[in-house]
Amino acid sequence: MNHDIVIQTFGLTRTYGEAEAKVTALSGVDLAIKAGEFTAIVGPSGSGKTTLLHLIGGLDRPSAGHIELGGTNIAEMSGTQLSDLRRDQIGFIFQAYNLIPVLSARENVEYVMLLQGMDPAERKRRTDLMLQLVGLEGLGERRPAQLSGGQQQRVAVARAMASSPAIIFADEPTANLDSKTGVALLDLMKRLNEDEGVTFVFSTHDEKIMDIARRLVYLHDGVIERDERR
């Protein structure tokens, strides 16, 4: 495995159901993501984008094949080991309802660092820095319900970055945003990728957003159809 590669899949397959009801969501996917890449997984609905992100993000287990993160096959990890892996090495941004509604934006960003047991001073410093990076300084005390959809996604980006993960997965992060806000969010992610070196992998079927990505992985019926670098 190349030392630049953050995560790599080998023959990744995921099926649901059995016998006649068996559905293959992903079939023999080989994919390597290098550090610092800004990759979009694209494809129509049902192509397997979310399944792929869930598998390489350690949220689901493959039916066949394996996934290596830092040389370790994460498919063989226990539930608690996977939780720790996600906490320390992976950041997630979902379509919507990313945040814990009873916590303020600041507390949401702090959450993963609290799980990591980071000391309070460092936690505060990083929280301030993350909120500043996503342009939400001054809004930290607001609860998610008091923030717009775009602002909520920015908080989710800040939270995903807070633990300094090796890679951040974003599953259609702009799906619930208007196009202007969606593009702004992607611009933010791209800026963070360029300035801070954060590795992003996101799924989308929005063509305007695809244009921002430097690498496009086309999925169709659970198979990688094309892999383009720009």
Partner 1 sequence: MLNLKLAFRNLFRNGRRTLLTCLLIGFSLSALIIVDGIILGMSKLLVESATHLMSGEAQVHRRGYLDSFDVDLYIADPGALQATLERNPAVAGYSMRVMSGGMVSSPYNVAAAMILGLDAGQEKSVSRISESLVDGEYLSGMDTELIIGSDLADLLEVKLGDRIVLTLSQVDGGGISQELFRLSGISRFGIRELDSTTAFINLDRARGMMGMDTAVHEIAIRYAEGEDSANRNHPLLAELSNSEYEALGWKDFNASIGTMLETIDLVTIVVGMILFLLASFGVINTMFMSIYERIYEFGVIKAIGTRPTDLIKLVLCESFLIAVGSVICGTLLGGAVSYYFSVSGVILGEFEVSGIAFHNNIYSVLEPAQFIEFPIYVILLTVIASLYPAAFAAKIVPSEALQKSL
Q: Which is nearer to partner 1, 91 or 222 (CB)?
A: 91
Site map for partner 1, 22-61, x if CB under 8 A?
Answer: --------------------------------x--x-xx-
- Per-residue exposure over 47-74, b if at least 16 CB sit within 10 Å of its own CB, e if not: bbbbbbbbbbbbbbebbebebbbeeeeb
Report the residue from 84, 128, 221, 227 that binds partner 1 according to the rule CB under 8 A: 84
Nearest residue (CB) to partner 1, 38 versus 169? 169
Residue 98 is a binding residue for partner 1 (CB under 8 A): yes
Q: How far is the CB of 211 from partner 1 (least distance, A)?
A: 26
190 touches 173 (CB < 8 A): no
To partner 1, the closest distance from the beta carbon of 204 in angstroms equals 16
DSSP state of 198: -
Q: List CB contacts of 216: < 8 A, sequence separation 6 or more.
A: 39, 40, 42, 210, 226, 227, 228, 230
- The secondary structure of 50-75, three-state, reads HHHHHHHCCCCCCCEEEEEECCEEHH
Question: Rule CB under 8 A: which of 172-201 touch partner 1?
Answer: none
Judged by the rule CB under 8 A, the positions of this chain that interact with partner 1 are 54, 57, 59-60, 79-80, 83-88, 90-92, 94-103, 111-112, 114-115, 159-160, 163, 171
